[in-house]
Structure 1
Amino acid sequence: MIKCETGEWGYIKKKKWKQLLLTLLMAFIGIGIFLTGYYFKGKSNQSIFTVLAVLMVLPGAKFFVSFVVLAPYHTPKREQYDELIKILRENGKLFSDMVITSSEKVMNLDFILVSNGQVLGVVGREKQDLAYIQSYLTKGVRNWSSNEIVKIYSSYDELVKAVKKISEKEVNLQEEEKVIAYLTSLIV
């Protein structure tokens, strides 16, 4: 399986498969440890092997929870990603396949673009609270840059129109790099 970095196109799909495979691997290792102890102890489950097998549930549960969080979300169309890459200026950053969690909600964004003092995004699923997502991201971005404007759109077409209208302006590149690092840290 080819490694896919956080925020790259295809991240959700690859991360879901990875988490599912790791969950199954932990289950098989736990079963293997239990069976080894069961047969070494004369068909008795009262051994340290049973304890070790039960402890294998913990990492397996961690991987399974990550899979469950990502399960309802899907990778956006490759054509959309390629179109945004063409439009994007050299000094911008495009994130794709974003699932972000807050203490209240799990949010899905197909794309977020950081360029020229703006953070523009589009929700991945309908019926998400657009105002909440925009407010949540604005509060976080304000911690790193007071000049970045955050705008989240409900449709891909609206995002494309907004990206085409981005005008060149002087921005603090250090602040923009901090915003990019912040957004990267949010991705599940």
Structure 2
Amino acid sequence: MSIADIRKEYKMASLSEDQVDPSPIIQFDKWWREAVAAKIDEVNAMTLATVAADGRPSARIVLLKEYTGQGFVFFTNYFSRKGTEISGNAVVALLFFWKELERQVRIEGSVKLVSTEESDEYFASRPKESKLGAWASPQSKIIESREQLEMQFNQAKEKFKEVEIPRPPHWGGYRVVPDKIEFWQGRPGRLHDRILYTADIDASWNINRLSP
């Protein structure tokens, strides 16, 4: 089979303007709960796209850790590639693809740091190995070998073996504050349903259908 022959017909559900909630966050919550109920593996995995100072885009998978009316939260190393790019251009995009439900959610918006208290609270909930990894890994930087990384991990393990592991100052949370959220439902014949929410200046949301 050639790559061009790989295709799937989407036919599980539909999405119309009169079905969606006036609030995109409430609509996301509805879809999120249905995705969790469907037992999708790593349901909170999302693509995060950032743009460097030279205009070069980059994307990677990160994990959603919270969503509220204020936005969508993830955590990372501030000095990683994504952290560096966010510091230079605080506009990003997120993408969820829940293939089991034939759905995508596309989110665009600006990013800001979560509070120190929020970062501390989440870091304290992480497994010990993940905490040590945050200290050991100079994320996105070139390293000589796997052995170097493991040595740094063991050094951190020794350093904190008798004390509570604190959150590194270079690690914490970001909140994506959306100004556009699109809900995509696969449909037969590639005539997919696309419902776009766009933030208005008065904090309300405009809802429009997009052509597939």
Question: TM-score, normalization: structure 2?
Answer: 0.23
Q: Which has the higher strand share?
A: 2
Larger of the two Rg values belongs to structure: 1
TM-score where L is the length of structure 1: 0.25
